[in-house]
Amino acid sequence: MSLSPNSGPRRDGLRPELVVLHYTAMPDCDAALRALCDPAREVSAHYLIRRDGQVVALVDEGLRAWHAGAGEWRGRGDVNSRSIGIELDNDGASPFAAPLMDALERLLPGILARWGIAPAGVIGHSCMAPGRKIDPGPRFDWHRLARQGLALWPEGRGALPIDRGRFRTDALAYGFPDLADDLLLSAVRLRFRHGAGGAFDGRDCAIMAEMAARMRA
């Protein structure tokens, strides 16, 4: 039985093929828990991980939790019906607590195994809803997850000739929505180049070329 009432059947026979990571952006975890279980808020997730590492199961994995909202990934919408949502107790500005990250690393392998989700299917809310959402934000350690085989991270360090058309093709092949140039670049950098600023460059191109190639492999 689900702790949160904010859920329903997955639509059109869809099954989880993604895990979407969020941060709560709430004053404390108890406030987030109340919000995620409040019928009037119409928001939920499958799991909430507290800063101390406690995992709270809110919605049965077989059900559709209401966490992703509008957006798409790999050209397909209704991300709620195609995903497991995990809320992380974090304000968006602070480092993620070590016990929380440890708990996430324990939780993810079981989810990926149960549903046959590849590491490439672990994405951020910001990835599928750029411009509307920025969580789990620039403080989240994607590289750490990748070292455990729980997400993707670029292995190469080089640059390619600047080619906006190729960059866009590769970004969409990886999964990002079709966006205006500046928003697409921001979404890619938030996911793969924390803190990078300035003009579009060859490193951006190299990252997306590598990630697109890994999706096609």
7-147 fold: Lysozyme-like (3.40.80)
Ordered alpha helix ranges (H), the chain: 29-36, 98-115, 125-128, 142-147, 164-174, 181-192, 202-216
**Does 1 have pLDDT greater than 70?**
no
For the cut 70, the answer to whether the pLDDT of residue 19 exceeds it is yes
Q: Which of 17, 42, 72, 87 is catalytic?
A: 87
Q: What is the pLDDT of residue 111?
A: 98
Indicate the average pLDDT of the chain: 97
Task: Decide: 143 and 40 in contact? Cβ < 8 Å.
Answer: no
Q: What is the pLDDT of residues 70-82, one digit of tens each?
A: 999 999 999 999 9
Cis status of the peptide bond prior to 136, with omega within 30 of 0: yes
* pLDDT for residue 194: 87
Share of the chain above pLDDT 90, in %: 96
- pLDDT of residue 2 exceeding 90: no
Q: Which residue bears the tokens 């989700």?
A: 117
pLDDT tens per residue, range 41-76: 999 999 999 999 999 999 999 999 999 999 999 999
Distance CA 195, CA 32 (A): 28
- List beta partners, residue 22: 87
Q: Is the model's pLDDT at 217 over the cut of 90?
A: no
Helical segments of 38-163, H only: 98-115, 125-128, 142-147
Distance of CA 88 to the CA centre of its chain: 11
With bands split at pLDDT 50, 70 and 90, how would you rate the model's confidence at 39? Answer: very high
The DSSP bridge pattern shows strands 7-8 and 64-65 to be antiparallel
Q: Report the pLDDT averaged over residues 88-104.
A: 97
Active-site residue, 87 included: yes
The reported pLDDT for the residue numbered 27 is: 86
Query: Where do the domains of the chain lie?
Result: 7-147, 164-216
pLDDT tens digits along 135-173? 999 999 999 999 999 999 999 999 999 999 999 999 999
What letter represents residue 74's amino acid?
R
* Nearest C-alpha neighbor of 95 from the set 157, 149, 34, 144: 144
